[in-house]
């Protein structure tokens, strides 16, 4: 759990204000870095006192730490931010919200994960009850904003953000068949489609290579993907990298020309924004919020989920169709810059100030 920063004066109108971030923050143990971790660090730069909970590795330990910190450190924060996912994490949010409500602490819910609308459809009363107790509810995509309005009418759109300046841009005008996939090895991200795409293209592009980067979520998807690569005869064309530090992501992306994105459920993947910032040509499936994030034929090529033939055709077009790669790559960087922290951080600063001041 991070040490709190000094309680200094923040933006005008806020004196000695602190924010408690509640979620699963596992990047220090090799897990994916949560969006709220970057937000926490940048708010500290504006003078807010900030604290994260929890970095505990076990689920039980994480839940206990969240509740303990919320109560024990109640004098050190004025508003809380809670990530709201589906599944077990939703129960964590419910418990934390009850504790915050009992202490009179305003809290802001941020909706996370492309699976949340389906989850909410099966538990509509619980979801509406939880979101109704929040001071404000934010969504990082127009997709989640639309899908979750039946459970809370007022949902503010505050997108995920990146530091675009950290990602070197290279205009891909004549792309090589160097592909990169950067997600978690979990079934919802369909990593098995990576070998399937390579197998469909290796006859036309003998030099095709795919680097698959991401942590193993332990559901068997990594083993299944490796087995698929072996059965399709493309193991020698695929490199598996089980996660990289955040600082190495720009360099990893810079070596590829095509970003392959394969999920069946998704929202606003930061990895896709990072690929756009680097100028990669994106071939992606289109579940959830992805169609709101990129434009087909302008910043990416979109295909239906779970269709390796269509995805392979999209990559083939990028590699062979005159002018297409140059157009996608050239449009990618401006699209990513719209999500730069310089545009997003003021939205968060204003929202937290409103919560501290009790302004709707």
State the pLDDT at residue 4.
Answer: 36
- Superfamily for domain range 18-161+340-357: Glycogen Phosphorylase B; (3.40.50.2000)
State the pLDDT at residue 26.
Answer: 83
State the pLDDT at residue 77.
Answer: 96
What are the C-alpha distances in Å from 339 to residues 73, 294, 306, 353? 32, 12, 28, 21
pLDDT at 82 over 50: yes
pLDDT at 5 over 60: no
pLDDT at 74 over 80: yes
State the pLDDT at residue 30.
Answer: 67
Domain parsing of the chain, residue ranges: 18-161+340-357, 164-337
State the pLDDT at residue 6.
Answer: 35
Query: 103-145: per-residue pLDDT in tens?
Result: 999 999 999 988 999 999 999 999 999 999 999 999 999 999 9
| Topology alike, domains 18-161+340-357 and 164-337 | yes
User: What CATH number does the domain located at 164-337 have?
Assistant: 3.40.50.2000
Section 57-67 average pLDDT: 93
Section 27-41 average pLDDT: 83
Please report which confidence band the pLDDT of residue 33 belongs to, taking 50, 70 and 90 as the band edges.
Answer: confident
Residue in the structure block whose two tokens are 């205009």: 171
Query: 335-359: per-residue pLDDT in tens?
Result: 999 999 999 999 999 999 999 999 8
Section 259-266 average pLDDT: 96
């Amino acid at each position: 759990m991070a040490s709190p920063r000094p309680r200094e004066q923040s933006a005008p109108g806020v004196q000695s204000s602190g924010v408690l971030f509640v979620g699963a923050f596992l990047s220090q143990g090799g897990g994916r870095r949560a969006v709220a971790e970057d937000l926490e660090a940048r708010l500290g730069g504006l003078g807010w006192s900030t604290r994260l909970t929890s970095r505990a590795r076990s689920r039980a330990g994480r839940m206990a730490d969240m509740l303990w910190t919320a109560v024990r450190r109640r004098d050190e924060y004025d508003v809380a931010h809670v990530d709201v996912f589906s599944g077990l994490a939703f129960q964590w949010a419910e418990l934390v919200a009850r504790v915050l409500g009992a202490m009179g602490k305003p809290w802001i819910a941020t909706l996370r994960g492309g699976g949340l609308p389906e989850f909410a459809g099966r538990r509509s009363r619980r979801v509406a009850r939880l979101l109704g107790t929040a001071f404000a509810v934010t969504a990082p995509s127009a997709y989640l904003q639309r899908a979750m309005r039946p459970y809370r009418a007022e949902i503010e759109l505050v997108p995920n953000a990146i530091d675009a300046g950290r990602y070197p841009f290279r205009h891909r005008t004549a792309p090589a068949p160097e592909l990169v996939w950067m997600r978690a090895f979990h079934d919802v991200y369909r990593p098995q489609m990576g070998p399937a795409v390579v197998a469909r293209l290796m006859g036309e592009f003998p030099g095709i290579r795919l680097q698959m980067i991401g942590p193993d979520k332990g559901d068997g998807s990594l083993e299944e993907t490796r087995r698929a690569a072996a059965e399709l005869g493309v193991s020698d064309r695929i490199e598996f990298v089980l996660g990289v530090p955040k600082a190495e992501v720009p360099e990893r992306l810079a070596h590829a020309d095509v970003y392959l994105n394969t999920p069946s459920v998704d929202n606003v993947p930061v990895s896709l924004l990072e690929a756009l910032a680097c100028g990669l040509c994106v071939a992606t499936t289109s579940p959830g919020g992805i169609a709101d994030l990129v434009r087909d034929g302008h910043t990416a090529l979109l295909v239906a989920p779970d269709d390796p033939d269509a995805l392979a055709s999209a990559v083939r077009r990028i590699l062979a169709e005159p002018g297409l790669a140059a157009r996608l790559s050239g449009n990618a960087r401006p699209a990513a810059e719209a999500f730069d922290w310089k545009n997003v951080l003021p939205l968060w600063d204003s929202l937290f100030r409103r919560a501290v001041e009790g302004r709707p």
